Amino acid sequence: MSVDDVGELDTASQAASTFGTNVTTTYDAKPTSRVLWVDRFLTFIRFVFILVISVGLLAFIAQQINPQNPFAQWINPDATGLTAAQFKGLLVTGLAQGAMYGLIALGYSMVYGVLGFINFAHGEVFMVGAMSGMITSNKLADAGLWEDAFLFCLLFIVVSSIVLSTATAVIMERIAYRPLRGAPRLIPLITSIGVSFFLQNVSVVLLGPGAKSYPALPSWLSQKRSLIGFQIEGTKLVVLLTAAVSMAGLWYLVERTKTGKAMRAVAEDKEIAALMGIDVNRIIVTTFAVGGAMAGVAGILWGILFRSVIHTTGFLPGIKAFSAAVVGGIGNLGGAMAGGLSLGAAEATAPLMLLEPLGVDGVSQLRDAVAFAVLIFVLLVRPSGLFGERLSEDERA
């Protein structure tokens, strides 16, 4: 390189920066000069969403105040409205399910944070947890321990489910994803769909295609008890408590331990993390393991809430948990939990609070539609999710 070269380089970089500013200005100018029909359409959709939500809520409030008022009569004369007790019941049910979605969502979010791809087989890890809980709980019930020492049994099935789900997630990473580490992100994504089908089929081969049930829960657990003005079934209380404990444990691991620090470092910059002496592969495995453990806990919660599992159990909760992770801001752990809770609460209450007042038929069948409408709405209004950071261009890659 000669002196002249250096000079040229400088001019070249100056030229590049001038060019850069030109490019930015043109980009900035574009949207104001020409609005694409797609943008108009999206604005329209946003408007419709907000309209449905506000009119539905207004009609609901109108009905609650006075069922005979003309506005409510005009919108839907047959609406029955909700009593306070019904509303609280729906909310608690929604939150219990939402806590379960949140626990699954953590796995999606953590793996996305570290590897930048969506592990669609994560729903099946959850299914494996639910299946393992089904097997162990029935064995314990046969041994006559289920009724007598329920809390011990619960602990036992949670631990064994965590072990099995963690093992599934770790083996999955080692066999299916690690060989594809350098590949474009679409490839592990498609692989994860394959892994998902594989795990479902393994379940069919090992346990048969029919639905299998958990033993009946002890009656003292299913009783309702009142707590700060809410009538809560014991099962839902157990679900909420277990989720809270798991989340607290995860928070401690990620924010307060050396491993957690290493996980966050790897999520941000693998090369520099390796330079610090962090074994990046080990941390990635740990991430899968922790996500798997959370899914295992969620599997047991599913078993307690619904008492029935089948090989496709992982699919819908998995997709909803993924939505919850996106709603909360993918890669953000608190966001995943908040996303899960709000999605659960929304799908439980929105059909009766928004759709029934609007005169939609068969609202109780529309839970899933509501859940995905929430996803679409959040993506339209705040694409980075409720708690997501805005990604810079190079981070988005």
Partner 1 sequence: MTENQVPLLEFRGINTHYGAVHILKDVDLSIFAGELVCLLGGNASGKSTTLKTLLGMVTPTTGDVVLDGEIVTHRSTSYRVERGVTMVPENRRLFKRLSVRENLELGAYLRTDRDGIANDLERVFEMFPRVKERLNQKSGTLSGGEQQMVAVGRALMSNPRVLLMDEPSMGLAPALVQTNFELIQQIHEEGVAIFIVEQNANMALSIADRGWVLQTGKVVLDDSAEALLANPELRASYLGESGNR
User: Binding residues for partner 1, per CB under 8 A?
Assistant: 1-3, 6, 258, 261-262, 264-265, 268-269, 271-279
Picking from 83, 51, 59, 50, the residue whose alpha carbon sits closest to that of residue 358 is 59
Distance CA 302, CA 305 (A): 5
Minimum Å gap between C-beta 322 and partner 1 is 23
Token representation of residue 348: 């439980």
Closer CB to partner 1, residue 318 or residue 331?
A: 331
Q: Which residue has the tokens 């099935």?
A: 157
Minimum Å gap between C-beta 397 and partner 1 is 16
Closer CB to partner 1, residue 30 or residue 256?
A: 256
DSSP per-residue codes, 156-185? HHHHHHHHHHHHHHHHHIIIIIGGGTTS-T
80 Cβ contact partners less than 8 Å away, ≥ 6 residues apart = 356
DSSP per-residue codes, 25-64? HHHHHHHHH---HHHHHHHHHHHHHHHHHHHHHHHHHHHH
Closer CB to partner 1, residue 225 or residue 282?
A: 282
Write the secondary structure of 328-374 as one string of H (helix), E (strand) and C (coil). Answer: HCCCCHHHHHHHHHHHHHHHHHHHHHHHCCCCCCCHHHHHHHHHHHH
Distance CA 267, CA 389 (A): 14
Closer CB to partner 1, residue 142 or residue 279?
A: 279
Picking from 59, 212, 190, 241, the residue whose alpha carbon sits closest to that of residue 136 is 212
Minimum Å gap between C-beta 110 and partner 1 is 15
Closer CB to partner 1, residue 148 or residue 255?
A: 255
The H or E element containing residue 296 is: helix 280-306
Token representation of residue 153: 């049994």
Minimum Å gap between C-beta 265 and partner 1 is 5
Minimum Å gap between C-beta 249 and partner 1 is 20
Angle at 354 (CA atoms; ends 349, 360), nearest 5 degrees? 110
Give the number of other Cβ atoms within 10 Å of residue 241's Cβ.
Answer: 11
What secondary structure letter does DSSP report for 183? S
Minimum Å gap between C-beta 108 and partner 1 is 19
Distance CA 360, CA 363 (A): 6
Closer CB to partner 1, residue 329 or residue 357?
A: 329
Angle at 151 (CA atoms; ends 146, 156), nearest 5 degrees? 75
Minimum Å gap between C-beta 267 and partner 1 is 8
Minimum Å gap between C-beta 258 and partner 1 is 7
Minimum Å gap between C-beta 321 and partner 1 is 24
What secondary structure letter does DSSP report for 305? H
Closer CB to partner 1, residue 281 or residue 312?
A: 281
Minimum Å gap between C-beta 182 and partner 1 is 14
274, 280 Cβ separation under 8 angstroms:
yes
Closer CB to partner 1, residue 190 or residue 391?
A: 391
Distance CA 266, CA 269 (A): 5
